[in-house]
Every structure is written in C-alpha cells, then in structure tokens.
Amino acid sequence: MVQNEREIRKELVIDAARAMARAARTAPKGKGADIIEVGIVTAEDIDRLSEELIRYNEESGMMFLLRDADNLKSADAVLIVGTAQKVQGLNCAHCGFPTCEAKPEAVPCAINVVDVGIAIGSACSVAADMRVDTRVMFSAGMAAQRLKMLGDSQCVMAVPVSASSKNPFFDRKPKE
C-alpha cells in the first residue's frame, strides 16, 4: 500500500498538534501548579476563530487582525494554550505590584503568564521537530479567549499548524 502524503497531510498535521498539546501539558510550571489549559481547534472552529478576528477588527480598527483572520484559514489545526488566573502567593512583584494582595484582580499573575509562554515554547519545539509550519499568534489567542474556547482561561495564545511546501504564516502581506 502507498499512502500519498497529499491525501494524509491533514491527519499528519492533527497528529503533530496532538504532540504539541502533550508538550504544552508536560512543560515545567511555576510552583509546580498545573493551571494551564490546552486545546486543539480544527475544521469549522478555525473558521469561527477567523470570524472573531474580523469582529475584533471592526471594534478595534487594528488592520493586522484581517491579515491574521485570513491567514488562519491556511491552518489544518490551531493549538490554543491559556491559563487560569490564580495568584501564586509569592509576593514576587513580577506583575508590577509589591504584593499579591496589592495586585488588582484584572492584572494577571506573572507566573501564570510565564507558564503559558513556557508551554508555547515547548509546543513549538515539538512542531519544529515534526517539521510542521507554525506561528505564535496572540491575535488568534485573543479570539479563542473571546469565544471562551478554553472556558474562562486568560492570556490565551494560539499556534496555527500547517504542512505545506512553504510556511503560510510568514512573509504575510498586510490587508489594505
């Protein structure tokens, strides 16, 4: 039997996204507290993300959101990673406030945000090992957060995943 890569490409990308999700889950966490959430967006839910970016553009006027909305359509999967907002009680001041008690509720705990970054880095490392195309997009993460794709998670970041002859997530042209 011969499997043509063109016929199984989407399946291979989704397998890569699953491995990326595993890497995000097993990435080191501040204080050892596992408060990240990880999801894989596919099919019509990628279209929902794209549509939410268009709505966000209409509210904000940020034109790059239209480019990102269009760019998401090149992905066969989108990894999303966010965090619960849980103050870690370290009084480390990395959030800009001297103590956890002094930190306003709307300001995220820096340890939580760092955990998301480490998880994304770990996931992208796996993506590189698996030779799939990716790009970290805070914009698509914001769309996922607005759609509550990870429940009440905050600081959501997104990583669209593709496998094509040229990475569709680089050399992108701005929308006029």
Q: Is residue 64 part of a domain?
A: yes
pLDDT in tens, 59-73: 999 999 999 999 999
Q: Which domain holds residue 143?
A: 5-162
Tell me whether residue 167 is exposed, middle or buried, using C-beta atoms within 10 angstroms of its C-beta: 0 to 12, 13 to 18, 19 or more: middle
**CATH number of the domain where residue 85 is located:** 3.40.109.10
Q: How many domains does the chain have?
A: 1
Q: Is residue 37 part of a domain?
A: yes
Q: Is residue 137 part of a domain?
A: yes
For the entire predicted model, the pTM comes to 0.93
In DSSP notation, 146-175 reads HTTTTTT-EEEEEEEEE-SSS-TTSSPPPP
Q: Is residue 102 part of a domain?
A: yes
Q: Is residue 129 part of a domain?
A: yes
Q: Is residue 81 part of a domain?
A: yes
Q: Is residue 22 part of a domain?
A: yes
pLDDT in tens, 78-117: 999 999 988 899 999 999 999 999 999 999 999 999 999 9
pLDDT of residue 176: 67
**Structure tokens given for 155:** 């600081």
